[in-house]
């Protein structure tokens, strides 16, 4: 009888360890997915006119500067021409 209880206790301990390891594995996999998502973000650029931040693909680039809209791109062009 004592042997049976010992085996039962051993089984419970093994079950707890296995379920904990499995849970940690799922958690670290979820963390890895989150990190993978955040490690490949799109570059953010700042509009040279209004200072708003936006993804590089949504911005307008001109002379090494980025703009949030076509309007700000043109606005900046006028300012540059005025300076010269
Ligand atoms: Zn802007």
- Residue 84's SS3 state is coil
The rounded Å distance from CA 83 to ligand 1 centre is 19
* pLDDT at position 80: 47
Q: What token pair was written down for 67?
A: 């703009």
SS3 72: helix
Q: How far is the CA of 7 from the centre of ligand 1 (A)?
A: 70
Q: Report the C-alpha gap between 2 and 8 in whole angstroms.
A: 10
End-to-end Cα separation, the chain, in angstroms: 97
Task: Return the pLDDT at 81.
Answer: 47
Tens of pLDDT, residue by residue over 20-57, are: 988 888 888 777 776 666 556 788 999 999 999 999 99
**What pLDDT band is residue 67 in, cutting at 50, 70 and 90?**
very high
The alpha carbon of 58 and the centre of ligand 1 are apart by a number of angstroms equal to: 12
Helices (H), 1-84: 2-39, 70-83
């Amino acid at each position: 009888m004592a042997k049976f209880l010992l085996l039962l206790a051993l089984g419970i301990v093994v079950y707890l360890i296995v379920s904990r390891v499995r849970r940690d594995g799922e958690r670290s996999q979820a963390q890895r997915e989150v990190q993978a998502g955040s490690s490949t973000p799109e570059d953010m650029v700042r509009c040279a006119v209004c200072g708003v931040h936006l993804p590089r693909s949504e911005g307008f680039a001109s002379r090494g500067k980025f703009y949030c809209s076509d309007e700000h791109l043109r606005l900046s062009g006028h300012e540059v021409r005025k300076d010269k």
